[in-house]
Amino acid sequence: MEHISTPKVENVKLLDRYANRKTASGTLYLTATHLIYVDASAEVRKETWILHHHISSVEKLPLTTAGYPLLIHCKNFHVAHFVIGQERDCQDVFTSLLKLSQPVKPEELYAFSYNPKMSKESREMGWKLIDLRLDYQRMGIPNDSWEITDLNKDYEAALCRCSQPLAGFSARCLEDEQMLQAIREANPGCPFMYVVDTRPKLNAMANRAAGKGYENEDHYENIRFKFIGIENIHVMRSSLQKLLEVCEMKSPSMSDFLTGLENSGWLRHIKAVMDAGVFLAKAVREERASVLVHCSDGWDRTAQVCSLASLLLDPFYRTFKGFMVLIEKEWIAMGHKFSHRCGHLDGDPKEVSPVFTQFVECVWQLMQQFPCSFEFSERFLLEIHDHVYSCQFGNFLGTCHKDREELSDQMFFVLARIFEKTHSLWPFLLQRKQELRNPLYRGFTAYKELQPNTLPFSFQFWCGMYNRFDKGMHPKQCVLDQLLSCSSQKVTLEDSASQLQNKLPILDGSLPSKGCTSPKAGVAAAKASPPPQDCAEGAAPVLSNGPSLGHQKHKESPAQPQDVRACREDGQAQHQG
């Protein structure tokens, strides 16, 4: 709270970019973790919560006749445009948000103060929910060619996923050549292996001047080398910024929007990542070849394409649990610089890049082509994406597993206590599995391998991600949400029908037919029900332990279940339902 000089500001306006409605007027609050705006002009209390860690930039705009504007851009693509009446209040809020949204020390991250009132045992079980050894066992590892080892416990080596070799223009590394040979020989089903460099060839050649570069095929036996051509983090950061500028255009023409989308290059980059994943999957599926993948450092493009290839090849990774395992394995355990790429701490802005965002979008693009192949919905992807940036859970803190265990480096002393002081995201998402599931999912074995179309017309703009908070832009109904709602309503109605069956009166004292309740329940209902002539006069029968059958809880009138109809046909009197 030390950074908050003005915790409450009244008469603050919240502008809406798209909806043609009256500007909201309310009160803005600053807490230790959130900015909260309460709309006083709404008929029903309406609150807007913005987590400080989600804020990517705060900008003071020139004075207007309405007051002092404050524009907030968030990492989850929420844009909030406030107008504050007094300059001093605006300056105080601006200064506070700059400090609150850019913590300097790891212990200031939200995960270390977040307390969901969970027992220590439950928190520890949450961290044990994902066990990567079980995933390797599922794939048949260890075996005669591969084994699980702690040889790299001091983080001195890498295998199969790696960074660029120190090849330069003429250097050789005998150990590296022998390692690739061992990988190739571990797969007797193919006489060669692929080495895939995800960078553009020009970039890789430039790195040779610094003594790095890529593998020389003349020095490696039976390898096939391929460049993919995914651009670096700086190009991706610039591309996203251009995309967001298009998304924030207030009333663009179709031509302006399409031109801006094309000029951003965003979908072109998404296609490049998808093409790489498709190539890897095809090499494994059709040629039965082993593949070694690297980029410059092995923690950005490499994570993207290996994850996508796994999704295409293995339906397990398209389930709730499998997708969590995939992220833990390819992104968290293997090492992705979440802290730098997501800007968790105040640092070099040139290290920030939407690498994980691109992966999440590639998954969404696959879901558009294969809507029945994923157990989870778009909402599940958005929840994960939000929490990568929120720092509410400990999963995505630090840059690699070494950071999370490091004790000697004072910088990461707090991060060493991640597993003791923070909570894992996965059990919280599994608790919401029902609302995050895909109602079109056809099961684990319906689609074993996916072969997506990567022609340009196959890629769509993801409005649900980049304009998610602009309610005026969305369709009034979402098909999948409607299906989930209907499915939930069906369960509720079935429960209600079951309860009503247990209360149906037995008018002649005889036992109900086989579709109805137990004999004891039927007799009890018969004793409690009114005489049958009441029903004949049109009155709904009154039950002893519930409302009348003529006034059901739900407005809809569902079709009567077969067993209910059977009971009524066996009765001597007709009742209203």
Distance CA 483, CA 83 (A): 39
Task: Give, in order, the Cα–Cα distances in Å from 296 to each of 86, 161, 163.
Answer: 50, 11, 5
Q: Of the candidates 29, 6, 8, 17, which has an alpha carbon nearest to the alpha carbon of residue 80?
A: 17
CA distance 167 to 170: 7
Buried b (16+ CB within 10 A) or exposed e, 283-293: bbeeeebbbbb
Residue from 74, 90, 162, 295 carrying the catalytic annotation: 295
**How far is residue 196's CA from residue 226's CA, in Å, rounded to a whole number?**
5
Per DSSP, helices labelled H in 504-529 are 519-528
- How far, in Å, CA of 247 to CA of 386, rounded? 19
The DSSP output letter for 71 is E
How far is 334 from 414, CA to CA, in rounded Å?
21
State how beta strands 68-74 and 55-60 pair: antiparallel
Residue 113's nearest CA partner among 125, 103, 98, 127 is: 103
Whether the Cβ atoms of residue 67 and residue 83 lie closer than 8 Å to each other: yes
Residue 463 annotated to the active site = no
Peptide bond into 142 cis (omega under 30): yes
Residues noted as catalytic: 295
